[in-house]
């Protein structure tokens, strides 16, 4: 029976449910809670956690009082925020002046609160730090007690808290605000308070203004430089989406040969920068830095780079800007909650909603003041009536037997209402004199004028806007500061090409018969020993180039493989080097015959074939815009290639036929081919079964009468090799391919 009961219980507990219904009932409430009550700021510029914390400090009289321990604030805030002391203290840290995360900090702090620009600089525990509200919070809470904003119950309904704060300036744009919700995020940059107030005033006067003329660019607490692109900023101001570039500030200490970085982008930190620079130095991409140190102290941020004496510091820094977080982008996504709805707004639209919100707050304040003054006016009107007969009032009070009848008798005797009667009955005995009553009733005219003025203001949108502008001017005057982030025009920024980022130094390239390749820096080659090779392997070619060169490898299958020298790792003489089939992705049984290097594709190539033909091709024919790694049909496949070489200027070549005849010709006699795989022209007339067996440079052929073999026209039949030249050159001439390809 017990087993049957368990089964029934399980069956009742587990129910099938469509996934769409599960999402709607379970996931959507969570998602909306995160969006509306946690991650996205509202028009006052605060998230709920910020608002609860600051309002708690306001209730603790920390706007005018002395600092108190942070742990005290954290504990009191838990009456409004149930998320735990750790989360509350992290929120408090970010709002402090000491942490430096905000351009306009709201908390005056004492102690170690870490730093925005360092992820390893931990803040002290709340029992060691002290806080109070910064002076500018008087603008955040101004007239909050005058019903300027709605109040709602806290999480357990024991106290009330404001749903928004009546900020007298557009705080939503005065401080950076980052938040990640469910399915959406918010990323709002900060603007200089003085510039923001001025731009808001101009916007209130004329909503059609170009905000870029009055709000130059964002500003950040960490300073740095902002690369100004008006078109990009106009897009952000209009749509609320876009990005702009920030970069670090530095100065060069020539005496100590070091670069000191003292301001960095808001989006990065010291540790990320140092780690990236170290990685670049270890990989050999940056060779000019000898040491890097974090010298941040009480005076502020400082990263020191020790550099080599002959280094160009400006070029080095521009390389670092391209390769490290010393230059970073801030992506904007101005998502703001407007009356509980998330909206992506441009700067102009945010100002529009903020002005509307602020006008509503001022109207509520005016209505509150009018109500208070009307109450006072009503009481004084009752007081003025007893001025006509003070003795009568005293007589009524004296002759009333029951205390509860004093007010009704006064109401009847002077034709006043209960509120006025209560007020008169509470007047002290010493104040029931003509002088006191006259002095109080003289306020009636002043009160009437003030009430009339307030009502006129309440009815006039223009007057309310003037109040907002006046308050903005006051904020600008009291709290405005010079901008921290310097604006640098985009066209003034030095453009760094990809080649500028490549470390340039001399190298020597080696190609072996077994298709091994080495790239060795000249600096390490000077102290190197003998080149290590595989057994029975030998070096076919070696040439000097630079690390910015492009290397061309010609294979026996008429392919050319291209690689940037800087993409190939440096090696040493004591290492075999790179195996080219693996490095280049060559075909099976393919072999590299020749290599050359170039930086500008100047010069030309000459090809000599076994059938007596020769071709000449501009090296630029092998240049490609798409950076292709492999080109097919690099030269003619119609006859066997005997010799090829890259030349910068015309040169002489000695061609051997069947090891019995030779001819000396100049490459100038060979016309350029339009196509790189052209078969060329006949330069050597061959009889049946004859072939060109070898090609030499004249200096490699020993002869006292080398001019004997020169031809003045092509094609040529050549000259028989003299016996003494055969003897001088040890003629078995078996080195057909060994001499070149």
Category of 84 on φ-ψ map: left (φ > 0), alpha (ψ -120 to 50) or beta: left
What is the average per-residue pLDDT within 536-556? 92
When pLDDT is averaged across residues 721-735 and rounded to a whole number, the result is 73
Res 91: pLDDT: 94
Please determine, for residue 11, whether its predicted confidence score (pLDDT) is greater than 80. no
pLDDT above 60 for 732: no
CATH of domain 46-166: 3.90.199.10
β-pairing, 560-564 vs 604-609, is unpaired
Residue 731, pLDDT score: 65
Is 128 part of the annotated catalytic residue set? yes
Q: What is the mean pLDDT of residues 273-296?
A: 91
Weakest mean pLDDT among 17-31, 501-515, 663-677: 17-31
Among 155-159, 200-204, 440-444, 614-618, the least confident range:
440-444
Tell me the average pLDDT across 353-376.
95
When pLDDT is cut at 50, 70 and 90, the band that residue 411 belongs to is: confident
177 strand-pairing partners? 188
The CATH homologous superfamily to which domain 600-623+631-741 belongs is DNA gyrase/topoisomerase IV, subunit A, C-terminal (2.120.10.90)
Topology at the third CATH level for domain 352-474? Topoisomerase; domain 3 (1.10.268)
Tokens of 655: 């061609």
**Are residues 323 and 309 in contact, defined by beta-carbon separation less than 8 angstroms?**
no
| pLDDT class of 38 with cuts at 50, 70, 90 | low
The stretch 223-243 carries a mean pLDDT of 94
Which whole number is the average pLDDT over 23-44? 74
Rounded to the nearest 10 degrees, what angle do helices 418-425 and 406-414 cross at? 120
Give the HSE-up count for residue 602: Cα atoms under 13 Å, Cβ half-sphere: 4
Task: Classify domain 249-325 at the CATH class level.
Answer: alpha beta
Range name among 28-32, 100-104, 220-224 with the lowest pLDDT average = 28-32
What are the residues whose beta carbons fall under 8 Å from the beta carbon of 49, sequence distance 6 or more? 38, 81, 83, 87, 88, 91
- pTM across the whole model: 0.77
Burial 168-190 (b: 16+ CB within 10 A, else e): bbbbbbbbbbebebeebebbbbb
Residue bearing the bigger pLDDT, 474 or 287: 474
User: Would 249-325 and 600-623+631-741 be classified into the same CATH topology?
Assistant: no
Give per-residue pLDDT as tens, 386-407: 777 778 888 888 888 888 888 8
Question: Is a pLDDT exceeding 80 seen at residue 735?
Answer: no
- For the chain, the structural domain boundaries read 46-166, 249-325, 352-474, 504-599, 600-623+631-741
Catalytic member of 128, 155, 579, 708: 128
- Report residue 366's pLDDT band, with 50, 70 and 90 as the boundaries: very high
Averaged pLDDT score across all residues of the chain: 89
Lowest mean pLDDT among 183-187, 224-228, 355-359: 183-187
Q: Which residues pair with 344 in a beta bridge?
A: 335
pLDDT at 330 exceeding the cut of 80: yes
What is residue 315's predicted lDDT score, i.e. its pLDDT? 87
**Does the pLDDT of residue 8 top 80, yes or no?**
no
pLDDT, tens digit, 9 for 90 and up, residues 433-483: 777 777 777 888 889 999 999 999 999 999 999 999 999 999 999 999 999
Report which of 321, 311, 312 is spatially closest to residue 276, judged by C-alpha positions: 321
Mean pLDDT in residue range 177-205? 91
What is the spatial distance between Cα 45 and Cα 43, in angstroms, rounded to a whole number?
A: 5
Q: How far is CA 396 from CA 218, 383, 417, 422, 435, in A?
A: 71, 15, 16, 14, 20
Residues 478-505 have a mean pLDDT of 85
Q: pLDDT tens digits for 616-643?
A: 999 999 998 887 889 999 999 999 999 9
Specify whether the CB–CB gap between 196 and 188 falls below 8 A. Answer: no
For 406, the token pair is 């004093």
Distances in whole angstroms, Cα of residue 461 to Cα of each of 35, 206, 435, 450, 466:
33, 14, 42, 18, 9
Q: For the segment 65-76, what is each residue's pLDDT rounded down to a tens digit?
A: 899 999 999 999
216 phi and psi angles, rounded to 5 deg: -55, -45
Residue 589 predicted with pLDDT over 60: yes
Q: Would you call 378 exposed, middle or buried from its count of C-beta atoms within 10 A (0-12, 13-18, 19+)?
A: middle
pLDDT of the residue at 12: 59
State what percent of residues in the chain have pLDDT above 90. 64
Token reading at 310: 């002959």
Quick one: pLDDT band at residue 348, thresholds 50, 70, 90?
A: very high
Tell me what pLDDT residue 739 has.
Answer: 43
Does the pLDDT value for residue 660 go beyond 70?
yes
Phi, psi of 554 (to 5 degrees): -100, 130
pLDDT grade for 413, boundaries at 50, 70 and 90 = confident
Read off the pLDDT of each residue in 254-275 and give the average, rounded to a whole number: 94
């Amino acid at each position: 029976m017990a087993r049957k009961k368990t089964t029934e219980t399980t069956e009742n507990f587990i129910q099938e449910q469509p996934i769409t219904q599960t999402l709607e009932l379970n996931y959507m409430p969570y998602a909306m809670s995160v969006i509306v009550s946690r991650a996205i700021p509202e028009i006052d510029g605060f998230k709920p956690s910020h608002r609860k914390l600051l309002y708690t400090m306001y209730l603790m009289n920390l706007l005018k009082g002395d600092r108190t321990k942070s742990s005290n604030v954290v504990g009191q805030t838990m009456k409004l925020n149930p998320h735990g002391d750790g989360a509350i203290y992290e929120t408090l840290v970010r709002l402090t002046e000491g942490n430096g995360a905000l351009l306009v900090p709201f908390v005056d702090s004492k102690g170690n609160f870490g730093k925005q620009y360092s992820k390893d600089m931990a803040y002290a525990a709340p029992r060691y730090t002290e806080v109070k509200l910064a002076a500018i919070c008087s603008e955040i809470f101004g007239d909050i007690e005058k019903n300027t904003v709605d109040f709602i119950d806290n999480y357990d309904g024991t106290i009330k808290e404001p749903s928004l704060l009546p900020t007298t300036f557009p705080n939503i744009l005065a401080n950076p605000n980052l938040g990640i919700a469910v399915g959406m995020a918010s990323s709002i940059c900060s603007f200089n308070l003085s510039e923001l107030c001025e731009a808001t005033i101009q916007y209130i006067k004329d909503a059609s203004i170009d905000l870029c003329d009055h709000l130059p660019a964002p500003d950040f607490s960490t300073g740095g430089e902002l690369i100004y692109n008006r078109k990009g900023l106009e897009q952000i101001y209009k749509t609320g989406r876009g990005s702009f570039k920030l970069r670090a500030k530095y100065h060069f200490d020539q005496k100590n040969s070091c670069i000191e970085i003292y301001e960095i982008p808001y989006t990065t930190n010291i540790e990320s920068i140092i780690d990236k620079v170290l990685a670049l130095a270890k990989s050999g991409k940056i060779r000019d830095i000898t040491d890097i140190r974090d010298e941040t102290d009480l005076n502020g941020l400082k990263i020191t780079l020790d550099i080599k004496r002959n280094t160009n510091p400006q070029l080095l820094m521009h390389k670092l800007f391209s390769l490290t977080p010393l230059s970073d982008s801030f992506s904007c996504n101005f998502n703001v909650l407007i009356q509980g709805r998330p909206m992506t707004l441009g700067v102009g639209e945010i100002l529009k909603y903020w002005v509307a919100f602020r006008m509503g707050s001022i109207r509520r304040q005016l209505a509150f003041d009018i109500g208070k003054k009307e109450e006072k006016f009503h009481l004084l009107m009752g007081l003025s009536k007893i001025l006509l007969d003070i003795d009568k009032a005293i007589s009524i009070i004296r002759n009333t037997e029951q205390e509860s009848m004093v007010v009704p008798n006064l109401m009847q005797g002077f034709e006043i209402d209960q509120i006025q009667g209560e007020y008169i009955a509470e007047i002290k005995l010493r104040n029931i004199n003509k002088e006191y009553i006259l002095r109080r009733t003289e306020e009636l005219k002043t009160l009437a004028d003030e009430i009339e003025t307030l009502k006129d203001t309440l009815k006039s949108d223009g007057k309310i806007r003037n109040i907002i502008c006046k308050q903005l001017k006051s904020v600008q005057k009291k709290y405005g500061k010079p901008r921290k982030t310097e604006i640098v025009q985009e066209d003034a920024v030095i453009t760094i090409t990809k080649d500028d980022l490549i470390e340039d130094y001399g190298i020597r390239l080696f190609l072996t018969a077994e298709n091994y390749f080495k790239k060795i820096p000249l600096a390490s080659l000077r102290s190197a020993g003998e080149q290590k090779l595989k057994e029975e392997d030998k070096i076919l070619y070696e040439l000097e180039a630079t690390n910015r060169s492009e290397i061309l490898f010609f294979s026996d299958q008429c392919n050319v493989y291209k690689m940037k020298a800087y993409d190939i790792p440096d090696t040493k003489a004591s290492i075999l080097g790179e195996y080219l089939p693996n490095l280049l992705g060559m075909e099976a049984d393919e072999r590299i015959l020749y290599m050359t290097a170039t930086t500008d594709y100047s010069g030309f190539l000459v090809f000599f074939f076994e059938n007596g033909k020769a071709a000449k091709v501009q090296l630029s024919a092998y240049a490609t815009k798409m950076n292709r790694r492999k080109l097919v049909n690099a030269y003619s496949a119609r006859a066997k290639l005997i010799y090829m070489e890259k030349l910068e200027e015309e040169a002489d070549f000695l061609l051997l036929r069947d090891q019995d005849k030779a001819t000396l010709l100049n490459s100038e006699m060979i016309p350029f081919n339009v196509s790189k795989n052209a078969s060329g022209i006949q330069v050597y007339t061959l009889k049946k079964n004859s072939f060109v067996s070898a090609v030499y440079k004249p200096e490699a052929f020993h002869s006292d009468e080398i001019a004997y073999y020169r031809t003045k026209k092509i094609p040529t039949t050549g000259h028989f090799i003299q016996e003494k030249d055969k003897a001088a050159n040890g003629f078995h001439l078996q080195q057909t391919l060994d001499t070149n390809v």
